[in-house]
Each structure stands twice: as C-alpha cells, then as structure tokens.
Amino acid sequence: MVAPRNPSSQQHLPSRTVLAGLIAALAGMSAAADTQAARDDGGNSAVAVSTRSMMRNLRLTHVSSQTALTTATVTTCDDDGPGSLRAAAATNAAVIDMTALACSTITLTTGQLVVAGDITFNGPTSHALVIDANHNSRVLIHYGPGGTLTLDHVQLTNGSQTATQGDSGAGGCVLSIGNAVVLQNASIANCLATSSSVAYGGAIYAHDLTLNDSVVSGSIVNGTNVHAGGAWVNGKLVMNHSTIRDNVAVASTGVAIAGGAYVTEETQLYASTISGNQADYEGGLVVLQNASINNSTISGNSAPVVGGLSVNGLLVLDNSTVAFNSPTSTFAGVYVEGGVVAHSSIVSNNCYTGSRYCDVECKNCAIVGSKNLIMGANVALPLDTIISDPLLAPLADNGGPTQTHALSAASPALEKGSNIHNYPFDQRGRARSAGTAPDIGAFEDGPDSIFADGFD
C-alpha cells in the first residue's frame, strides 16, 4: 500500500539553535577545518565544483514564466497528446495532478520533461505510479533561478543522461539547476549519468534536497572524474525516514567520490539509512560543512578511502549506528575534520586488515559526548565509552520504513545509552527506553509493541 501524504515528517529534527550550541561547545578544542583544503592523503579529498562553471554550456529548451493556471490534470498514461503528463508539464501549472490515474506506468518516449519554478507532481496514494524514461533520456530537468520541485507519491526510474556538447553529465533522472527538490513518499532509482570527463549525481543533481519517506537507489555516475552515484547536492541535504542505498560512483580514469551523496553545505538526517553505496573515495556520504545525524544508520558502504562517512565540519551523532562500512586501503569508516559530538551512538566494525585508525579518524580535532560504543579512534574517547563489539545483527527490515541493525541478546549496548533529545521513538518508530535505560544506537530492543505509525 502506498503511504498517505504526511507533510509533518520533519518534526523531530534538532533545531538550528541546538546545532549551533553544540558547535559553540566544541569551539576551542579544534581548529575549524578548511573545507576546500586538500588532505594529507595525497590530495585525494572531495573538491567542491561550482554549478556555474559546470553548467555554463548547458542549453535548455525555453519554458515561459509561470502562468495563472494553478493545476493541470493528467488523464492518460500516454507519453504525449491531450491529457498526457507531457502536455500538463508544458502548461507551466504549479501542480501536476496525476492522482486519478488508474495505470501504473508512464513511459517517456520523446525525451525528458522540462519544467521551471515552483511545481509539484502529485501521484495517486492508492497505488504506485512509475514515470519511466526507458534509458532514453533524463526523466526531468527543472530550472530557475529559484523555485522548488516537489515529487509526491511518484517513482522515477531508468533515466539516463550522457554529456554532450550542449548538455552536462549531471542528474541521470533529475537535474534541478539552482533550485530545491523535495521528495515526499517518492523514489528515484536505476538512473545513469555519464561523461567522458566530469559527471555529477547518478540519480539527482539539486541545489537543496529534502527526502521525506523516500528512497534514492540503484544509480550510477560514470566518467573521468565523478561525484555522487546517488545525489549531488550543491547546498543542504535533509533526510527524514528515508534511504539512500546501493548507488555507485565509477571513474574510468581520475577519481570517483561519494557513492551515496555528496553535499556541499549542512546535512541533517533523522530516522534514515545510508547503505550499500560504493566509490573510490568516501563510499557513503560526503559533507563539506556540518552534519547532524540522529536516530539513523550508516552501514555497508565501501571505498578504498573512507568507507562510510566523511565530514569536513562538525559531526553531531545522536542515537545512531555507523557500522560495517569498509575502507579497503586507508583511513577509517568515519573521517571528520571539525570534531565529533556523540551521544548514545554506535561506531563499530568499520575496519580492514591493517587499518590505522579503524572506526573514527578525527583529524586535528576531538571526540566529546557520552554513553557511546566506539570500537576505535585515532584520538582519545570520552571516559564512559564502551570499547567492545556491539554484536549487531545484519542490516535488515526490522520494522518501520528504513533498515536497521538489531542488537543481539548479548550486546553490551543494551540499556547502556541515553536519550538527551527525548526522542519518543527509535529509528523504526518503536518507543525509546523500553528497559531500564535506552539502548545505544539507532535500534531500541524490547518486546513487540506498536510502532509510531500504528502498525507492528
């Protein structure tokens, strides 16, 4: 069953005031990292590339400014003609209404859809609706300046974009130039962005990206120097109850950075999972500024350098699990330059044979916080840190919309944690503090109970 629309899924994110306070608390412990500076790993750092320079040769089909039309209704699943999605998009309406469609797939046969400004695509809530580009083109190109593209209850798939003289290898399914993109109960999957030189965002390229109850998966970016198999975000990333998984960044020559997502500004995750992504550098998530990760899981990502998570600013890690991310040559599962503030979180099993720092490398910075289980780091850990294997079960569907690692019956993380933000639920939506104290990590063990959404 397709989930009903839920516009309030961001309600548990920490406020900017809380994040600012944590940054201030850490100030003085470590020098702020220059997010553009090369690391001392031979220059293999992620490098921000300006949208302007990358897009300067992009030629776009002209779309007129927003008209007075409020809603355009789609009545057929044909690619073109009266009542089609393509015809509705061409009206420049603020809302594209597909809620009454009985079909399950719209296949694009005459190229990508071109839209601009504030626009929302509403699909049916009674069944899944797929917009399939059949690997003939992108699904959507959205341009401004300004405006937000919202995809609500739709699934975009099989987009394919190859760089040409007049277009870029960016956004295999969705390219939004200088604009925000919001996915609500939506998915983007099986997309490809490729180029003989640089390419960005196998699935999506956006300025700011918000994922609510959504998934970005199974996409590839391929070229000489490439970034982000899943999502390239030239701004802020916010994820709520969402997943970025099984995306790949591949470079024929040069480097491939960030299998899952590459974010140039702040990142906030709540009750979300980033898993199974691959790249040459930083397999899962790369953030060039501060990152706040809460009630979330980062697992099973891999890269020769930094398996799971790379943050150039401050990392705030609360009630989360970062595990089984695999660096295969240098650095750890988690690499941070601006310091770590962690509470009731697990960072474990992010190692390879002969690893220098194993789970966390904090470059010229400090790790502070309490009630954590961290198996290894290159700097001193808080005195109450548990340094043991948490005995995690494999990543699986343990209930709720995202996958998690359950705790075994013998886990040292059981009832040893805290809940400083008073989260009512764990990542799955089960009640926190089922025992005498909260468990460490994103998963709260305990007897079967009702989830936040009312289902077992």
Q: Is the model's pLDDT at 8 over the cut of 90?
A: no
Q: How confident is the model at residue 351 (pLDDT cuts 50, 70, 90)?
A: confident
Q: What is the pLDDT of residue 254?
A: 83
What digits encode the pLDDT tens for the residues 231-255? 999 999 999 999 999 999 998 888 8
Please state whether beta strands 105-107 and 130-132 pair in parallel, antiparallel, or not at all (unpaired): parallel
362 dihedral zone (left: phi>0; alpha: psi -120 to 50; beta): beta
Check: CB of residue 296 under 8 Å from CB of residue 427. Answer: yes
d(CA 131, CA 140) in angstroms, rounded, equals 10
In whole angstroms, how far apart are CA 36 and each of 49, 52, 312?
Answer: 10, 17, 9
State the pLDDT at residue 356: 55
Give the pLDDT confidence score for residue 329 in this predicted structure: 58
Each residue's pLDDT tens digit, 293-306: 999 999 999 888 88
- As a whole number, mean pLDDT of residues 193-217 equals 94
SS3 call for 449: coil
Provide the H-helix boundaries in 27-180.
51-55, 85-90
CA distance 436 to 175: 49
Q: What is the pLDDT of residues 103-146, one digit of tens each?
A: 999 999 999 999 999 999 999 999 999 999 999 999 999 987 78
Of residues 278 and 13, more confidence is placed in 278
Pick from 202, 180, 204, 178: nearest CA to 54 = 178
Query: Does the structure show a pLDDT above 60 at 6?
Result: no
Highest mean pLDDT among 56-60, 303-307, 321-325: 321-325
Task: Report CA-CA distances (Å) from 196 to 223, 260, 327, 334, 408.
Answer: 5, 21, 27, 31, 47
Q: Give the model's pLDDT for residue 347.
A: 96
Q: The tokens 């999502």 sit on which residue?
A: 231
Candidate ranges 191-195, 331-335, 349-353; pick with highest mean pLDDT = 191-195
pLDDT computed for residue 401 by the predictor: 96
Region of poorest pLDDT, from 46-50, 202-206, 207-211, 254-258: 46-50
- Count CB-CB contacts under 10 A for residue 94: 17
* pLDDT at 148 > cutoff 70: yes
pLDDT in tens, 242-288: 999 999 999 888 889 999 999 999 999 999 999 999 998 889 999 99
Tokens (6 digits) for 424:
């009512």
The backbone torsions φ and ψ at residue 241, rounded to the nearest 5 degrees and listed phi first, read 55, 40
Q: How many residues does the chain have?
A: 456
Residue 172 CA to residue 293 CA, distance in Å, equals 27
Q: What is the rounded average pLDDT of the residues 85-89?
A: 96
Q: What percentage of the chain reaches a pLDDT higher than 70?
A: 79
Q: What is the rounded average pLDDT of the residues 370-380?
A: 93
* Burial of residue 65 (number of CB atoms within 10 Å: 0-12, 13-18, 19+): exposed
Query: In a 10 Å sphere around its CB, with 0-12 CB exposed, 13-18 middle and 19+ buried, how is residue 84 labelled?
Result: middle
**Residue ranges per domain, the chain?**
76-394
- The counts of H helices and E strands in the chain are 3, 44
The distance of Cα 289 from the centroid of its chain, to the nearest Å, equals 15
For position 82, what pLDDT does the model report?
Answer: 96
**69 pLDDT higher than 70:** no
pLDDT at 145: 75
Q: What is 204-261 written as a DSSP string? A: EEESEEEEES-EEES-EEEESEEE-SSEEESS-EEEES-EEES-EEEESSS-EE-SSE
Within 10 Å of residue 414's Cβ, how many Cβ atoms?
Answer: 22
Q: What is the token pair recorded at 84?
A: 């089609």
Q: For residue 357, what pLDDT band results from cuts at 50, 70 and 90?
A: low
Reading the block at residue 346, the tokens are 């697990």
Given a cut of 50, whether residue 55 has pLDDT beyond it is no
CB of 186 closer than 8 Å to CB of 216: no
- Which pLDDT score is estimated for 350? 87
Is the distance from CB of 205 to CB of 171 less than 8 angstroms? yes
Per-residue pLDDT for 355 more than 60? no
Give me the pLDDT at residue 403, please: 98
Question: Which residue type, as a one-letter code, is found at position 18?
Answer: V
Which range of 95-109, 136-150, 187-201, 329-343 scores highest in mean pLDDT? It is 95-109
* Alpha-carbon span 284 to 279, nearest angstrom: 8
383 Cβ contact partners less than 8 Å away, ≥ 6 residues apart: none
90 backbone dihedrals φ, ψ, rounded to 5°: -70, -15
Q: What is the mean pLDDT of the chain?
A: 84
Query: 19 phi and psi, to 5 degrees?
Result: -60, -40
Nearest to 18 by CA among 268, 196, 187: 268
φ and ψ at residue 108, rounded to 5 degrees? -85, 120
CA distance 295 to 316: 11
Q: Which of these, 405, 402, 445, lies nearest to 273 by C-alpha position?
A: 402
Question: pLDDT per residue over 414-444, tens digit each?
Answer: 999 999 999 999 999 999 986 789 999 999 9
The pTM assigned to this predicted structure is 0.86
Does residue 81 have a pLDDT over 90?
yes
At 36 the pLDDT is: 30
